[in-house]
Amino acid sequence: MNEAYLDDFRRLTVIVETKGKTPKAFHLRGNDEVAPLTIDTHERVGDRCKYTLSYAGFVFLNKRYVVEADTGQTMPLHSGKIVRTEAFDDLYAYDGGDLGHTYSPEETRFKVWTPIAKAIKLERVDANGTTYHDFRYDNQGVWSLTLEGDHEGARYRLHADVNGRMVIANDPYAIASTANGEYNVVVDQAKAFGENITPAPEFSGDPTDAVIYEASVRDLTSDSSLNLDTPSTYLAASRHGLKTPCGRPAGLDYLVDLGVTHVQYLPFYDFEGIDETNPQSEYNWGYNPMQYFVPEGSYASDPNDPYARIKELRQMIDAHHQAGLRVVMDVVYNHVYDAERFSLEKLVPGYAFRYDKRGMLTEASGCGNDLATERRMIRKLIVDSVMHFATRYHVDGFRFDLMGLIDITTMHRLRQRLENHRKDIIVYGEGWNIHSTLPDAKRTHQRNDDVVLTIGFFNDSFREAMKGSTFKLDVRGFALGGVSDTNVLERLLKGSVYRFAWPAQSINYVACHDNHTLYDKIQAAMPEVDEETRHRHQELATAMTVLAQGVPFIHMGQEFMRTKGMDENSYQSGDHVNRIDWALVDTHQDAITRLKQLIDMRKREPLFRLKSKPTINRAVQVEKTKQGSLLYQIHGENETLVVIFKPRLGTERLSVDREAEVRFTADANATLLDGMLTLEGIATTVLKGR
C-alpha cells in the first residue's frame, strides 16, 4: 500500500511499495498544477521505501492532491504531522463565536472547523425522512451551510471526507443531543435558555469565604428510601421536601441545612460509560467526556428530548440558587473517553491530542490519551464550553480534573474570560505535577502557583498530614493520632502560604470522590480501636479542614461516616456502593450538628478567613502541647481565637486566658474553670478571648 502524508507546509513523507523499480522522482498534482518534489532522504524498510520530500509551493489543505512517482505509483496526499505544527495553528485558528449551529425560525446556519476536509455534508433527519446538504469552504478551516426555513428539532450529524475516507461525526460545538450522542439536535436557544435563572446568592468572590461540598447528581438521590419516581436525576436534585427514614432533611434540603456555600457536582456534561436509555443498568462517575457543550442525558427525564436535558439542568441550578447555594461544575479537559471516536479527532486527525517522539498517543492522564490544550482550537473549545456553562447555565465555579496536564496559557485565558463575565466565579483543580510532553514550566501544577495566582489547587500535603497516607492505609496523620511535624502542621494551618501566594489557592481537604472515603481509611488505619473512637478521629480531621486558613473542601458524607465498603475506586461500582445512605444522617445527627456549628463559626468569624500571606504570618501561631495536642491561635485586633485539636484520649489541662470563653467543643467532658481548660476526649475545642 502506498501512502503520502504532509508533515508541514514544505515537507512530505511518502512510503511506496518498490516491487522491483525504485522511484527516482516525484511530482505533486493538485489545484490545477503539477509541481516537482525534491527527494531529501530515503530508506528501505522491507519491500517498501520511505522518502522525505520537500516542496517549494503551498498546499491548500481543503483541496485534493496526489503524489506521483516516476515508476507510475500514485497516492493521495493526506494530512500528517502538519496539523501539529505552529504554522498550522497560526494559519487556521478561528476566533469566531459562531461554530456549531445558529437557529432562527427563518433559517439555521451551521459552521464546522476542519481545515483538512475535502468535503462535508450535513445529514438532517426529521419526521419527513433524511436529507443531505453540502457545506461550502470559507476560510481559516471553517465550513458553513445555511438551511432556509424552520429546522427546530431536526437531528443532524456530519459526514466529512477526511484523508480519503468518509467519517461520520458529531458537531464538536453542538449544545443538544439525542440519547448516547447518536445525533445532535437543532434547538431554539431562546426557548431553551430564555427562562431566567435566579441570580446566584451573594458571595464575595474570594474563595476563602467558600465552604465547598462535593456531591454527585446521581448519588444524592439514588437511595431507594427517598421513594422518588425519577431518582438520580437533575429533577431529583432540585426537589425540596425529601426526608431521611426518620424524617430529617435529605437531598437538596440537607445541603442547605448543613450551611455550605458551594456544591461541587461530579461531571454533568455528556459522558460515556452509561447507556442513557437505561441508566440504571450501569454506573459511572462521569470522567469520560465526549460532548463538551451537551448536558449528560442519563440525568434527564428523557435523554432523547434535548430541551429536557437543558431545562432540567438549569432547573437544578436554579433550585440551588433559590436555596442559597452556588454550584461548581467538575470539568475534565485533560483527556476524552475515546480518542478515535472524539469528533475533533475524526474531523482533524492528529490535532486534538499529544504525541510522543514515536508518533504514539501519550497517556499521562492514565486514560489512553491527553488533550493538547496548548493548541489554539482545543484551547478555544475549552474556553468556549466553560463560558457556555457559565453564561447559559449560570454555573458559579469550575473544578478542573488533572489540571496539571492543562497548559497555563489556557487557564489564564479562561480565568480572564470568566472575570469579565462575573467576578465571583471560583476556579480550582488538581494541580498534580504529572510528567507529559508539555514542558514543566507550561503546566498548571501547584509548583507553578507563582504564575497561576487566581486559581486554587487541591492541597494533597494537607490531606496526607491530617489524615495520613492515601495509598498506605496503615499510616496515620495527625488527626488519627499519628506522629506529625509541628512545623509542617503550622504551615498547613496557615493556608500553606509558605508555598502559595494567597491562602485562596489552598483547597484544604482530607477526602474526595477518589480513593477511600475518610471512614474507610480510618477503619483500615485503626482496626484496634472501637467505632466511637474512630468517629471522633473522623470529626477531628473534618474540623481541621473547616477551621484552617485557606478553602475548606468536604466530601459528601464525610460528616456522617460514609463508607464505600473499602472500595478504593468506585467510578463504576454501582449505586449500592456510591449512593448516599440517608439512614446514616439519622444515625450521626450529633456529628452533623457539630459540623454545622463549625461551618457557621467559620462564616461568622473573619479570623478563620484571613486573606493574605502577611496577615496570616502576623496573626497565626501554632504549637504543640506536651500531650501532643495542637494549639492553633489567631490574633485579631480586639480578640484572639484559640483552637485546640486534640488527637488522643486522656486528660489534658491547659492554662488559658481567664477571660476566655468556650465557643465550641466536641468534648462532652471539657471544662473551663479559673483559666484552666480540662479536656478528656479526641476533639476540637474553640476558645474566644481578648
Positions marked catalytic: 401, 430
- CA contacts within 13 A on the Cβ side of 344: 30
Asked if 454 and 591 touch (Cβ cutoff 8 Å), the reply is no
Contact between 349 and 79 (Cβ < 8 Å): yes
Distances (CA, A) of 439 to 86, 377, 408, 444, 445: 16, 19, 11, 11, 11
The conformational region for residue 99 under phi > 0 = left, psi -120 to 50 = alpha, else beta, is beta
Q: Which letter, b or e, does each residue of 626-641 get, where b requires 16 or more Cβ atoms within 10 Å of its Cβ?
A: eebbbebbbeeeeebb
Query: Alpha-carbon distance 113 to 83, whole Å?
Result: 13
Contact assessment for residue 362 and residue 370, using Cβ atoms and an 8 Å cutoff: yes
In terms of DSSP H, where are the helices of 182-290?
A: 189-193, 217-220, 234-238, 252-258
Q: Where are the alpha helices (DSSP H) in 167-305?
A: 189-193, 217-220, 234-238, 252-258
- Going from the C-alpha of 228 to that of each of 232, 235, 249, 463, the distances in angstroms are 9, 10, 15, 36
User: Which one, of 480, 313, 372, 504, lies nearest residue 426 by Cα?
Assistant: 504
Instruction: Report the distance separating Cα 64 and Cα 77, nearest Å.
Output: 7
Measured distance CA(415)–CA(456) in Å, rounded:
12
The grid coordinates of residue 619 equal: 496573626
Residue tagged 491562602 (cell numbers): 503
Q: Residue type for 192, please?
A: A
370: nearest Cα among 418, 309, 315, 438: 438
CB 559, CB 592: distance < 8 Å? yes
3-class DSSP state for residue 188? Answer: coil
